[in-house]
Chains A and B, each alone.
Chain A
Amino acid sequence: MALLQTGTRRLSTLGALARFLFQTVSSWRWLPRAGRRVVNRVYLTQVWFTALQAVPLIIVIAGIISFTVISQAVTQFGSLIGATEVIGQLMIIVIVRELGPLLTALVVVSRSGTAVAAELATNKVMGEVEALESMGIDPLHYLVLPRFAAGVVSTTSLIVVFDIVAIVAGLVAAVASDMSSERYFDLVLQNLGFQDVWVTIVKGMVFGTVLGIVPSFYGLRSRGIATDVPVASSRAVVTSIVTIFTLSALFVVVLGG
């Protein structure tokens, strides 16, 4: 019985999230012309915070992971079984297509998802959301829409950055392990297809949609009391992570990557 109730509650939350996403996207239609400039300014601030300020962290994570995996692979596969060909598959399938989007999404949710949920919950606690409505500004326009758009654009861009840095770090690792750069690029390019590129981009946009909407949803869903601020952050992070991992698995099942 309790399991059924939990399941019903989860489904209801999922429905509310889908409705919130639809409302956010469709709210664009009645955004006042003058309001677009304000929304654009908030959007750029969010892109600055979510994407540009996260670049150093993405470079560090992508560089270290790729360097570690490729140098281990060259050493282990090369000296033990003489199968360095597998390095191209490792780089493209494991790092570029799977780990890149997943780790980037984790970085975005831990840096920006928590911040957005806490910020919007605080807006609610301080009466700012109500004040916006009362002066004729839709909170969906001013608070949610720019954060949603920034989430999609930032996540997709950061995944591209991750993948480029990973490929470069892999090159450094391969060269450091006595593999020529020509051989490394041969192996990587042999395994890099058009599908890898578009699946990665689509993943970025889908993960970005999740990361752009879930924190705003939980932030604005808070009841306007101070203790709800950390709760909103926590729920936003947990829901985002579970959704991202589930979607990642679905991508493997549906698209094979």
Chain B
Amino acid sequence: MTAYVLSDTTTLTGRSLRHILRSPDTIITTAVTPIALMLLFVYVLGGAINTGSDESYINYMLPGILLITIASGIAYTAYRLFLDMQGGIFERFQSMPIPRPSALWAHVLTSLVANLASIVIVTGVALIMGFRTGASVANWLAVAGILILFTLALTWIAVIAGLSAKTIDGASAFSYPLIFLPFISSAFVPTDSMPGPVAWFAENQPVTSIVNTLRALFAQQPVGNDIWIALIWCAVLLVAAYAAATAIYRKKIS
């Protein structure tokens, strides 16, 4: 049966990618909020924000915007998984000789593709708005790698939500705090402008290290310790969420 893990996962991923192609609005709505925030911050608030660097403000805030894009994109992952669990289709898959993890991995891979598509759109808009980087290919690959890792970590959190939600609203509501996390980080303003406890939280939550890493990569500056903290955060979140999600899944289907 394990011989079919790959082919069945591919088949099922093809199915959910087709869902996205048939309702591309999910990718567009994922990109709309970050783009609106970008417009708001660059053209309305940005002028009054002192980042303490000579980078343009859009260069400063794009990393945070990309994380917000992912955080709002995974709400759809939970939504799609929830719908599948509600309908009879998952039961059909489970009564067929399909390797059990395939159905979940199909959703995870679909989430990855959909989020990368949204990120490309948002980055494109940022380029139009004046985002510039001299990042090398290696830097871009590092940026992509971190974004993929972050997407996977958040996607598995979304899988937990999609599997355990009781209502469709519950399935997507979990993402709101995740969308807010970048606001209490170094994404939009330097953390040293915040009052003590807030600054402490901002400096010690995962988004700040990821944002700082991405920003350094875009600006071709040394990433320092931030990249290791960022990678550890992503890995820990990923492993914990993956373990919890598969445990819930196993309990749910047996």
Asked whether A and B interact, the reply is no
